[in-house]
Structure 1
């Protein structure tokens, strides 16, 4: 007989999630996907951005489930995570708007935040910090790709895993960087890498 997960408390689900129980994750997703999406949509006014935010929050939860240490309730934690990502979107949209609407040159930027985001050294430091925070396998694959310039096929052969797994991990790593750094910094990093 299947365990009735829908009757479990958030606390019990979190415990089971931490131990790698996929059914617990599924129940958390079913329980919070819609309310979190509506919350994000209300803040952002964009269905696509709201859906991306929710997917990122749940992807992060799944990737870091063994290390989750809730200082609040599960719902409080999830709503805080969504709000944090929404603020990041707003913050970086403002940075991008500043470039799009004003004729600023890099030296004329008054905003300290924007100014420090532009400095190449700082961008690299920020990126390195985020790479260090990636799950170990993702970090290893991303490093082989970005620093050793290996192809997906070469990485797959070296690590003894499927090429599709490598492609998925690279995609997740790039999305992780886009989410954590914001699209403006991420683009500058990509441009400066070449």
Structure 2
């Protein structure tokens, strides 16, 4: 186990991690799924404790692993992947909190476009395009639910009132939508 000073979270070692990272770098989706499955729960728990939101935690984990896949050729040079993925995920969680704080306070966001290199901007643009394509393929109710919650920022109860369904139905539709989006994005990114 790798212990991080002052943290309650621990990164558990994955046997043959270096071999799996090498396979991922060569486009092996089975190895990617194995690494994702190994780290997902502990990273989710970390982000959930940080944000207090299951949806935000899912979004952060999804975003981090999509970026891992997009930059997979760099993986073999990472010596301590567990610590690295934990730090990347933690930074992504803090970024979400900063953005949420800006939204709540109404302050202008820092123009991060000036700070990003062209590759990161291109990747973000491609991820947005991919996400929009995935959302457009969802069944109508899931698409409506996803857009109202994720894009319009409505709460589940507000969506339930608007769509004339129960909050449980809203929750189920959002979960199904997120699952479908994840599957679609991973399938597209693996080619």
- TM-score tier after normalising by the smaller chain length: 0.5 to 0.7
**Following TM superposition, by how much is the alpha carbon of 1:167 offset from its aligned partner in structure 2, in angstroms?**
2.4
Note the alpha carbon deviations across 1:138-186, whole angstroms, 9 max, x for none: 38x96xxxxxxxxxxxxxxxxxxxxx99924999xxxxxxxxxxx9xxx
Q: Partners in 2 of 1:27 and 1:83 — Cα distance?
A: 21
Q: Partners in 1 of 2:41 and 2:71 — Cα distance?
A: 22
Q: 1:47 to 1:11 in 2, by over 3 A?
A: same
Q: TM-score, normalised by structure 2?
A: 0.52
Are 2:25 and 2:76, in contact at CA under 8 Å, matched by a contact in 1?
Answer: no
Note the alpha carbon deviations across 1:90-134, whole angstroms, 9 max, x for none: 2112212222xxxxxxxxx7xxxx47x3xxxx5765688466441
**Following TM superposition, by how much is the alpha carbon of 1:38 offset from its aligned partner in structure 2, in angstroms?**
0.9
In terms of fraction of residues, the more helix-rich structure is 1
Uncovered stretches (5+) of structure 1, i.e. residues with no partner? 1-6, 100-108, 143-163, 172-182, 184-194
How big is the alpha-carbon RMSD for the aligned residues of Structure 1 and Structure 2? 3.8
Residue 88 (structure 1) aligned to one of 95, 99, 105: 95
Alignment correspondent of 1:134 = 123
Q: 1:71 to 1:47 in 2, by over 3 A?
A: same
Note the alpha carbon deviations across 1:2-56, whole angstroms, 9 max, x for none: xxxxx84211111111111111101101111111111111111111111111111
Greater C-alpha radius of gyration:
1
Q: TM-score, normalised by structure 1?
A: 0.51
Number of residue pairs the alignment of both structures matches: 125
Alignment correspondent of 1:10 = 17
SS of the residue 1:94 aligns to: helix
Alignment correspondent of 2:73 = 66
Alignment correspondent of 1:167 = 133
